Amino acid sequence: MKLLVVLLAATAFCAVSAIPLVPRDNSHYVEGVSRYIWMPDDEGNQYLIDLQAPIEDDIVSLNAGNRNEYWLFTRRNRNSRQILTNGNANSIRNSQYNGNRPTMVLTHGWNSNGNTNWINQVKNELLAQSDVNVIVLDWRRDASNAIYLPSARNVVGVGRALANFLNFLLDTGGSNWNNVHIIGHSLGAHVAGNAGRSGRQRPSRVTGLDPAGPNFGNNADALNRNSATYVESIHTNGNSLGINDVISHADFYPNGGRRQPGCGNLDQACHHGRAPLLFAASIRSSHLVGRRCNNLSEANNNRCTGGSLVLGNINMGKRGSGIYAMTTRNSWPY
């Protein structure tokens, strides 16, 4: 009997010890190697994620994207969304959508939704500075899983569904892909990338706001240069929640691209969430200017002295190439 008690205790200890102590600053994390990572949603709630957890087939939606919602905001309905429906021409014709205006699409990340704080902030800045169509993609039904991997796998289907909707929108309401800019944070950046590669044409711009890193290193489904005529990424938590790789025409690494001033070492949500705030600030003015780097090491050490390129903004004709770093302040507007 005593032997049985000892064996049961040992088994329980092993089960408890199966998950190692994982530092909340993710200083242990190596893409493609580490199994566990602390990951926040867009509201800063922290979850310990097993990147090697088995996934049941019924957890991953075979129809990812079918439940997307598309919310339209313009200067005529800044705070009251109008729901546009793919295939329903009246939902577009009876809305405030105007094909003569640029169309800006915003998409959230894992365990979040279209009401997240950064989307509201960017939407408000966009409408304050320019008369544009703002479309918020809410893909919460495919983004909200207790484990990260199903949501990560859903980005392809969600992005393709977004592209199909934009094809219909442009055909029905007027305009073309040269007048479209898609902006996504974290997993939303990869949604944006897949949408850009799936449309009838490439959009003018795609901006990745600290594109998600876990499971997207060397992944063909990640945001890349083929996603738009001009692709830009803003890396603020590389080698952790964000991807550190050079993946775009222009890649910006503010403050080295891994940790941001004003964020505590344990506050991964703050580092990861700085990219959307920098982009929001760039809509208001062009004060965030990067200096070109010779290589990624220079960028990560913030020691770049080459030519300059403004970070962000919403100029549809913006073009540029290379790796850039800069020093920012620790509070708005940075």
Longest dimension (CA), the chain: 81
**DSSP string across 139-196:** -HHHH--SSHHHHHHHHHHHHHHHHHHHHHHHHHH---GGGEEEEEETHHHHHHHHHH
Partnered with residue 252 across adjacent β-strands are 234, 324
Partnered with residue 12 across adjacent β-strands are none
Bridge-based pairing state of the strands 82-84 and 69-73: antiparallel
Q: Is 32 helix (H, G, I), strand (E, B) or coil?
A: coil
Catalytic, out of 186, 227, 248, 282: 186
Cα–Cα distance, 258 to 239 (Å, whole number): 7
**DSSP string across 209-225:** ES-B-TTTTT-TTS--G
Q: Name the token pair of 6.
A: 């000892």
Active site residue 186: yes
HSE value, Cβ hemisphere, 13 Å, CA-based, for 111: 17
List the strands of the sheet with 289-293, edge to edge: 82-84, 69-73, 133-138, 103-107, 180-185, 205-209, 230-234, 250-254, 322-326, 289-293, 308-310
Active site residue 272: yes
Query: 240-257 burial by CB neighbour count: b if 16+ within 10 A, else e?
Result: bbbbbbbbbbbbbbbbbb
Q: Name the token pair of 1.
A: 């009997």
Active site residue 34: no
Which residues neighbour 259 within 8 Å (Cβ) at sequence distance 6 or greater?
237, 265, 271
Catalytic, out of 210, 245, 251, 267: 210
Cα–Cα distance, 244 to 236 (Å, whole number): 9
Asked whether 35 and 51 are in contact (CB, 8 A), the reply is yes
Cα torsion angle, 145, 147, 153, 155, sign? positive
Catalytic, out of 185, 190, 249, 272: 272
* Active-site amino acid positions: 186, 210, 272
